[in-house]
Chains A and B, each alone.
Chain A
């Protein structure tokens, strides 16, 4: 049997659906459509919240690093933390820019799926980088934070400070390894596979066009 032979069955099926399909209005009401808009912009809100939070921390660390500029043991780690944080904000801005530029409603299916997959890959790779940077940012923030909040010099007890550093880095490395292996690397591979499928679909088409 040919596909075209089945078209009358499909048309008949369409007519039957038109006649017998009932839209459940109560179920539609439960979907709370007005609140759903927020769901759609969740990744954007997440990045904006991220930018605001890191900016506040950076302002705090930056101001006090300038205040203690004569004491480089506090100010230099502070400035390094500001640098790391600024890079984090820069990455968040790139994500916000790319998320907000996706044209969801007028793109073709292939175009949209490719854009979204590439954006997902970028976000996942940035997240991996952010997680790797996090313990270092904490270590660089510690001296100035203890100085400002508790008026404590972390270098007074150098042994304990070194222990803290080793503890933070050690624990973080285990955590980062676990998260990357079980979450991000797996997700990245799957999105890459999906993207490769779409590109293969497109390339098959191109080779057909070129031979015509």
Chain B
């Protein structure tokens, strides 16, 4: 029962997990991060009390796991993944077809791990207040950080064109 419910929630929010993995990892490590996020979500599933939206809760755990994964990769040498299959596959869509999304991912890749979290939440239409609660900084500071990221992006896009 718990498993079924969990799978249905993951299915509903799979694009969120996919985007985080895509932003925090190269394709080689992506399967490992997918695995860690799914495990963390499963282990904390019983503790979800409905006080926040399920998508916010998933975002928080997935981003924390992605940042922890980055921290661990600084400390421990990562072994080559023993996982063969990715959790996600596509039916006929290739996001690389959209040049702007591709450029956006290239830009996100260059950001530090905390700015990455902020920009992903911003792009997914989270309000400043919600972002501040997830990240742990004030609303004003979220706005400042987003403005800085915006001007960085503007410069970068100007350089590309």
Contacts and interface: CB of A to CB of B under 8 A. Distances in A.
B127 interface: no
Contact of A21 (B15, B64, B140): B15
Nearest to B136: A108
Contact of A1 (B6, B39, B140, B154): B154
Contacts of B157: 1
Nearest to A4: B150
A21 B101 CA distance: 16
Q: Helix, strand, loop or mixed for chain B's interface?
A: helix
A142 B93 CA distance: 69
Interface stretch (A46-54, A67-75, A93-101, A110-118): A110-118
A31 B35 contact: yes
Q: Which of under 10, 10 to 19, 20 to 34, or 35 or more describes the interface residues of B? A: 35 or more
B72 to A, nearest CB: 9
A187 B92 contact: no
Interface in B90-147: 90-93, 95, 98, 100-101, 104, 112, 114, 117, 119, 122-124, 133-138, 140-141, 144-145
A150 interface: no
Interface residues of A, number: 57
Interface stretch (A84-92, A158-166, A202-210): A202-210
A27 B87 contact: yes
